[in-house]
Structure 1
Amino acid sequence: MSALEQLWNGISPCMEPGVGDCVVWWDAWAVVAGASAVGIAIGALIVAWVGVGVTTASAFAVWKLGIAANAASSEATRIAAAEATRSGDESTRRAFREETEELLALIQVHGEVALALGIAKHVVHIIEGGGLGKQLFLDEERFRQAVFDDVSRLEFPMVASAMDRMHFLDRKVSGSLLRAVAVAKLAQETYRFHPVKGATPNYADVYESLSSLLPPVCLDLGVVMVACELAVKRMGISVSMFQSEGSSDLEQ
């Protein structure tokens, strides 16, 4: 009898041991028990290996994710550092360009400002004249015309050509320059404008207007002149062709 037949004969007739003619064939049941134990052991071994495989795979996946995360972090850091360097370099270049524009604009108007400042100071000195200037201005046509001629020379074509770069200048400097130009123009209109054609102007009013308008022009142009002298030094030009009063202190 084969082992399979022995197994079946031991199981089939005696599903309920001790009933009827049943005689339990314990050898067959031992085979069943042994086979079951082996199956259970193999199953447990398979489960164990599957668990090990899953754990190993999980650990490998975590390791790969860690490498990927580190690589991404390093790349992000590199990009951020490069961007910061590029931004810093661009900021430096932009600041250099803006400073250069400021210096060039000041040097461009330097001579014109120096000339206008000299004229304005000269006119103020003449019309004040220790009290004598007003009387001469009112009585002497030749004296009065000389004043008008000087005031008419307060023109600023170089300032006009540099107007698109005024925003590069210090606000006080650019504000002083533009105000000086505007007030000088207003001073010229005090003797050019006559409300009634052919009427004799009121030269006393003209005198008072020039006396009040020209001193502030001198002050504003003085502020710009100092900035122009500093621009010459900052550009590395050793000698300035134009010097305002007190500007020699800049060379110390």
Structure 2
Amino acid sequence: MEILEKNKALQDIKTFRVDLNQPMKNNFYREGVLINGEYGWAEFAPFPHHSVEHSSRWLQSALEMAWTKLPEPKLTKVKTNAIAVSDDLENVIEAVNKSGCKTLKIKLSGKNIDQEVSNLREISVNIQNIKFRIDFNGELTLDDAVSFSNKSEGLPIEYIEQPCKTLKEIKELKQKIKTPIGIDESFRLVKDILNEDFIHEILESCDYLIVKVIPIGGITRFLKLRDLLVPRFNRIVISGSMDTS
């Protein structure tokens, strides 16, 4: 990407705030900055809890989108999942059916595992051929993660995403359960995601790697990561980051 002076790169910006239809983990809105560049508008909206270091990656991605001619897309259609955060099962089932998606990403807290498993069973009964991607955002203890895996046996779970907070816990968990594991934060929030030793450690610890392109620094950085991953690992899930665009 061309090195730009700040007064040029940020010469045309607008702030925004968009209310969410449903709160997500006490987030009721998304806010950020829109940057207008040579190749169109881009969005800079890091999560509020992110450090300056992590937020700088979001900015790198936004500047790249606004000021860089990126490769042409090779696909006109991509498969996606529905997402649910509500405890209202009727609303969840209705929303998934309207979306036409056959995969549902659902964020759970692990505070009441029996009830959460019961809810998943009800959803699976009401939506034929549904698959679940369960995201705990690191909320579970190791024991709770094992308990969830045992109690949810038989459910159509593609993977549980970031079940525990630390990579050490996830490594141990992988030895204890059959449910596939996806890793997000333990990968995305490290200092250098392109470190080959770290990548090797991550791939030994998970069955799926969830990659959020904007928070890791943009398309160019993702393509470098892809080149390191694909020869040995292809279960990569490209995920959004609550982006408005």
TM-score class normalised by the smaller sequence = under 0.3
Greater relative CO, 1 or 2 (CA 8 Å, sep 6+):
1
TM-score by length of 2: 0.19
Between structures 1 and 2, the one with greater strand share: 2
TM-score (normalizing by structure 1)? 0.19
**Structure with greater Cα Rg:** 1
